[in-house]
Chains A and B, each alone.
Chain A
Amino acid sequence: MIPPILKNLLRIKKFDISVSIILFITLVGIIGPFVYTVDPTALHAPPEVPPNNKYPLGTDSYGRDLLAQLLHGIRSSLYIGLTASLISLAIGVTIGAVAGFKGGITDDSLMLVTNVVYALPSIMLMMLIAAYLKERNPLFVALIIGLTSWPWVARAVRSQLMSLKSRDFLAISRMAALSDLKIMFEDLIPNMASYIFMAFVLLMSGAMIAEAGLSMIGLGVTRGVSLGIILYWAQLLESVRRGLWWWFIPPGACLVSLATSMLLLSTSLDEYFSPRLRGR
């Protein structure tokens, strides 16, 4: 049986479209490399061949198979996006929840830290850390992104919590002398679940874009491929000017459609979870 909430969500078109796109690309990224077992880093194909039967997406200037690159690229971009967003979410939710719940001086000091991190230009921070590390595997890149993009989550969770805190049902639980921890886990967090999930989706799309951004300035992963790295090489060897469209369009399109469908997904969730008087 489908839970009723999912049934209602499935009625929203935006939700259906975005979820299908995300699922499709994710499945391609997960299953693809097992089906198409060409090594993405091998250099033995002829260079700059347009798509044909042997190389469905052509090859790049070094003779690497671009379909293999794309499949592995999707996989590691998703991996970086997922890891980075989970890291930000963990930090952001913890800091936001503790600040909002405890209030007073705890709140003030945590928010100070948050605002400092928020005010730091995060791309600068990422560049500094990335430039410092000579070897960068996907986990490092995810860490760098995750550690710098949590502040808005902390702020948003805190303000959500502040508004939840003034709700009567919380006072009702408090009058039953439930412990703070219990109230946090029974009354507060579950009521924010949908919100946290939305934040997660947004973070993930942000993290994938950030990965591409880092790669484009040459600070991406040093081992393996990612969508950003493919684009980096394509840009470095002037693929756009030279009309090597099969090099930059597929990874660009994947990245853009993943990121936009995630944005779309979060707006559709927002629509579902927030309207009241607007008529449900």
Chain B
Amino acid sequence: MSTLLLEAERVKSYYHTREGTVKAVDDVSLDVENGIILGLAGESGCGKSTLMNTLMMKIRPPLYLVDGEIIVDGERISKMERKEIKKKIWGVKISLVPQSALNALMPTKRIIDFIRDVVKFHVDVSDGEIVSMARKRFEELNLPEDSLYLYPHELSGGMKQRAVIAISTLLNPKLLIVDEPTSALDVSTQKRVLKLLLDLKKFKIIDSIVFVTHDIAVLRQIADRLVIMYAGKIVESGTLEDVLSNPKHPYTAGLIHAVITPEPEIRKRGLVSIPGEPPNLINPPSGCRFHPRCLHAMPICKKVVPELVDISNGRKVSCHLVKA
């Protein structure tokens, strides 16, 4: 077994709002091994971004870590002081490319000035070095050099996103979390970004990647393991091949069937969507959270929350249909 870069144990993080508690991440355990690319997929609003923020300990009210432990590269960050996390963990051990590229950049600062601020916060290097580091990474991401000297609003959507990826990997973190990094990119740039992520890993600049997306076809290209999330819980995980070719959870199957790609296999199959709506996370359905939309629901599904059980070699499913 390879070593674990990140371990999350029974993590619960909730938003306390006026309307009630949003159980956006509810009892999630997740390991990221050294040297893998882990893909996280799930419906919009199921808690993917929240989970990623939690793994980083980027937790601010109204979000609270209610329970659980998070260990990054041997350090128990769930117990650490925020200041220490900021200085020692973020950007250095684990870095997050947030979902919104524009909001991550400072609208009033040129990209290069922003990079200078970020880098100087963590390490002591000269301006010249920072510029050459940034230049190199920008070139690798196929961004014109001039764009370093522009303001964020002068870049196109895709360019902004790549700029944020470049900035996040500048300090060579061990684990890179990317939240929907390619959703604003055209396919060619997307492919380049994916290739770059693979290369960053190949050259050991970063060790592991957690890749969040709703686009399973993208995960198909790069992920080693797949984790499927539904309504704040992990419903299935396993190697990419296993999960795609033989989905065990009805929701996973539904998700895979809803993929649209220009392929004969899919044209034959037609477009299938999962009936019903995603559940309300303030007041989620009892038992299995998927049961109101599940075609195979049984009486037990309404009553008992299924555990995420290991069915073979790290393949985990949480469904009453599946026997361990």
Contacts and interface: CB of A to CB of B under 8 A. Distances in A.
Interface of A: 4, 159-160, 163-164, 166-167, 274-280
B168 interface: yes
A257 to B, nearest CB: 27
Nearest to A280: B60
B103 A163 contact: no
B192 interface: no
B58 interface: yes
Contacts of B167: 277
Contacts of B121: 278
B138 interface: no
Q: Which of A159, A275, A276, A280 is the most central at the interface, judged by chain B CB atoms within 10 Å of its CB?
A: A276
B86 A276 contact: no
A279 to B, nearest CB: 5
Given A166-B153, A167-B153, A279 B107 contact: no
B265 interface: no
Interface residues of B, number: 21
Contacts of A164: 107
A216 to B, nearest CB: 36
Nearest to A195: B108
Interface of B: 58, 60-61, 86, 90-91, 103-108, 114, 117-118, 121, 151, 153, 164, 167-168
A137 B122 CA distance: 51
Contacts of A279: 58, 86, 90-91
A15 to B, nearest CB: 15
B106 A274 contact: yes
Contact of B104 (A4, A159, A277): A277
B175 to A, nearest CB: 15
Contacts of B153: 163, 166-167
Given A163-B151, A166-B153, A167-B153, A277 B108 contact: no
Contact of A4 (B61, B91, B117): B61
A279 B85 CA distance: 10
Given A167-B153, A278-B121, 11 more contacts: A159-B108, A160-B108, A163-B107, A163-B151, A166-B153, A275-B117, A276-B103, A277-B105, A277-B167, A277-B168, A278-B118
Q: Which of A275, A277, A279 is the most central at the interface, judged by chain B CB atoms within 10 Å of its CB?
A: A277
Nearest to A159: B108
A162 to B, nearest CB: 9
Contacts of B151: 163
A277 B86 contact: no
10 closest Cβ pairs, A-B complex: A166-B153, A163-B107, A279-B90, A279-B86, A163-B108, A277-B104, A278-B121, A277-B118, A276-B104, A278-B118
Contact of A276 (B60, B61, B91, B106): B106
A274 B153 CA distance: 17
A276 B164 CA distance: 12
A277 B90 CA distance: 10
A164 B197 CA distance: 33
Contacts of A167: 107, 153
A168 to B, nearest CB: 8
16 contacts: A160-B108, A163-B108, A163-B151, A166-B107, A167-B107, A167-B153, A276-B103, A276-B104, A277-B104, A277-B114, A277-B167, A277-B168, A278-B86, A279-B58, A279-B86, A280-B58
